[in-house]
């Protein structure tokens, strides 16, 4: 994969990404928004050998995706992921076929974290190891203290391949609008 990334152009927040990845988004100057088609990018479940394409996963029906800055981090482990595990039945009762947690970690770390948290059969743990999906959405942030480029914290509802709700934490890391209890009422 070849990626040319020019960040902090003009306003400091603009970004130009040119990629030959499988993602249908070739150039993005801003973050994803409601109404956008979800980028089709391969994420990984359990091992690098098991890829899950976001375009295929979200092609029909409702899928709730939430992203975390990092597996095993305090806010993600104590609040964010446990909330979605706890509310998984209520979320699925609203017609959501899958609940997906995305982290810019390797698939082994995401699988171990999911197992440690009791996510089995409730929340799918998908790894975005090179942040390709996260960057395609324009929801990446540089968190050197956590290992470099990570995802902003967000929740998103995708219906039939289109983003219908998007809740991005104002600072990219906080715990408010992207929490399960705050996402559930709007489903």
Which positions are annotated as active-site residues? 76
Strands (E), 20-161: 42-44, 51-53, 62-68, 96-103, 124-127, 140-143, 148-151, 154-159
CA quadruple 28, 130, 151, 163: dihedral, nearest 10: 50
Ramachandran assignment for 37, one of left (phi > 0), alpha (psi -120 to 50 degrees), beta (any other): beta
**34 DSSP 8-state letter:** T
Two tokens at 158?
């995708």
Residue pointed to by tokens 């914290």: 153
Q: How deeply is 67 buried, as exposed, middle or buried, from its count of CB atoms within 10 A (0-12, 13-18, 19+)?
A: buried
CB 63 within 8 A of CB 158: yes
């Amino acid at each position: 994969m070849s990626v040319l990334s020019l960040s902090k152009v003009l306003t400091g927040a603009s970004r130009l990404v040119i990629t030959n990845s499988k993602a249908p988004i070739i150039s993005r100057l801003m973050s994803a928004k409601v109404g956008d088609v979800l980028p089709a990018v391969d994420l990984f479940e359990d091992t690098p050998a098991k890829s899950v394409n976001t375009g295929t996963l979200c092609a029909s029906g409702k899928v709730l995706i939430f992203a975390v800055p990092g597996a095993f981090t305090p806010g993600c482990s104590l609040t964010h992921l446990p909330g979605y595990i706890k509310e998984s039945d209520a979320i699925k009762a609203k017609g959501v076929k899958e609940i997906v947690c995305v982290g810019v970690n390797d698939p082994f770390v995401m699988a171990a974290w999911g197992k440690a948290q009791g996510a089995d059969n409730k929340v799918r743990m998908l790894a975005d190891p090179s942040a390709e999906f996260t960057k395609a959405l324009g929801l990446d942030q540089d968190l050197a203290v956590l290992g470099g480029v990570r995802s902003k914290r967000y929740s998103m509802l995708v219906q039939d391949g289109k983003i219908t709700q998007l809740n991005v934490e104002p600072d990219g890391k906080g715990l408010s609008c992207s929490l399960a209890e705050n996402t559930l009422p709007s489903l």
